[in-house]
Amino acid sequence: MNYHPSQNQLAVLVVPGVGGAGKNGINISLKNCLRAFVHCFVQKGADATQTTWTLAQSSGNAGSAAGTGEKALTNTVPIWYSADMTTSNLMTSTTAAKSYQQAITQNVCQHVVFDVIPEQCMDIANGFDCLVVNASDPAAANIAFAFVILEPRYASLPTVYAD
């Protein structure tokens, strides 16, 4: 993917916030997208809680935390991770999956990237063209957030927060 601000678009999936409960992401529409790189972060403090990020698909209700008919992805996606972005920006490839569980570590910034190509991992034929990422409770001493870089199918991409 060649990033150019006039072509690719960013969207927030999980608004930054401290833990204490699971984080339900915002469903986005991938109708006009070729690919989506979902970036998930947990800034860990003194609490070494293990956070799991899980991708799901739905058939509508983009812009909401509750997608219509939300279910697991049809197929796995490639995943890259960094155990601590504060010491290295190198990403390590891991086994393709529909979710990723970050390590139990304190005082680090953990990062995971899911490479989503809708036609390869979503039930597009049955109208499942919305994507969301949810996180298990990152714990009270930690901050979690997620965003996506979208590669549009066409030159300009309309909002992904509407169906």
Answer for the pair 137, 19: CB distance below 8 angstroms, yes or no. yes
Q: pLDDT, tens digit, for every residue of 21-53?
A: 888 899 999 988 999 999 999 998 887 788 999
**Cα 33 from chain centroid?**
15
How far is residue 99 from each of residues 9, 145, 155, measured CA to CA in Å? 23, 15, 31
Domain ranges of the chain: 9-152
Q: pLDDT, tens digit, for every residue of 71-90?
A: 999 999 999 999 888 888 89
Q: What is the mean pLDDT of the chain?
A: 87
What's this model's pTM, rounded to 2 decimal places?
0.90
C-alpha 68/C-alpha 129 separation (Å) is 11
Confidence of residue 62 (pLDDT cuts 50, 70, 90): confident
**What one-character-per-residue DSSP string does 36-78 give?**
EEEEEEEE--S-----EEEEEEESS-TTSSS-TT-EE-SS-EE
C-alpha 65/C-alpha 126 separation (Å) is 21
Is 103's pLDDT higher than 90? no
Amino acid identity of residue 35, one-letter, is R
If you classify domain 9-152 with CATH, what class do you get?
A: mainly beta
Q: pLDDT, tens digit, for every residue of 104-155?
A: 888 888 999 999 999 999 999 999 999 999 999 888 888 999 999 999 887 6
pLDDT above 70 covers a percentage of the chain that reads: 91
